[in-house]
A and B are shown apart, each in its own frame.
Chain A
Amino acid sequence: MKIHHLGIAIDNLDATLSIFKLTRSDISETVYDDVQKNNLYFIFLKENNLWLELVEPVDQNSTIFKFVNKNKTSLHHLGFHTSKLEMEEDYYSKIPKSFIIGKYNIKVNSFGGYINTLFISFKGLIIEFLN
């Protein structure tokens, strides 16, 4: 599996950017996810050939509202690119202590347009597969 991005839940955009010595001008794209009720900020880290996805809850209906309230800014998930989303879903739905926790379709131009995503939890770690 090829790691694609790090998903970081944030409670304050500017404070989080300063952690990584970044500014708002480094943000490639901002997407409002109206299903999960989050603002998504995408930043490409050239040195690492890796995306950062900063996930900011917009209100208390956000899927990460309580997570951010509890953990503030912290690593939320690891994103992996896959060409076989259904195979990943089948695999992780069968192994012990692994759960499918969400499936979404969202447009992210930085990732090439509409993408399908699959969120799984495996032994406490949240992984997002996307294609």
Chain B
Amino acid sequence: MTHTEQLVANYFIQKEGENILDSIKEIDFIDSGIIDSLDLINLAVYIEETFNLKLNLVDESTFNSIRQFDSLVKLIETSKS
């Protein structure tokens, strides 16, 4: 894992436990119920604190990127660069 991937994974490990690593790249966090509307805000706060990046939660493409691990990592890395 890259450093960004590890930091993002840490959020989900804290929330769901180590077992989530087995399927973290296949899960849709919204459809699976892992992330509900309040969790979405908690995740956004975590990303702001960890990466100094404020997500625009009303932007549809941002919302779609949050749904899956790889697209979320890509969103963070492209937004930071």
Contact = CB atoms under 8 A, between A and B. Distances in A.
Size class of the B contact interface (CB-based, 8 Å): 10 to 19
B77 interface: no
A24 interface: no
Interface in A18-50: none
> Majority SS of interface residues in chain A?
mixed
Nearest to B58: A100
A41 B32 CA distance: 30
A32 to B, nearest CB: 20
A103 interface: yes
Interface string B48-77: 110000111110000000000000000000
Size class of the A contact interface (CB-based, 8 Å): 10 to 19
Contacts of A72: none
Given A96-B48, A97-B45, A67 B36 contact: yes
Nearest to B49: A97
Interface string B26-40: 000000010011101
Given A63-B37, A67-B37, A99-B41, 11 more contacts: A64-B37, A93-B54, A96-B48, A97-B49, A99-B44, A99-B54, A99-B55, A101-B37, A101-B40, A101-B57, A124-B38
Interface of A: 63-64, 66-67, 70, 93, 96-97, 99-103, 121, 124
List the 7 closest A-B pairs by CB distance, nearest first.
A66-B36, A121-B41, A99-B57, A97-B45, A101-B57, A99-B44, A100-B58
5 contacts: A63-B37, A66-B33, A99-B57, A101-B41, A121-B41
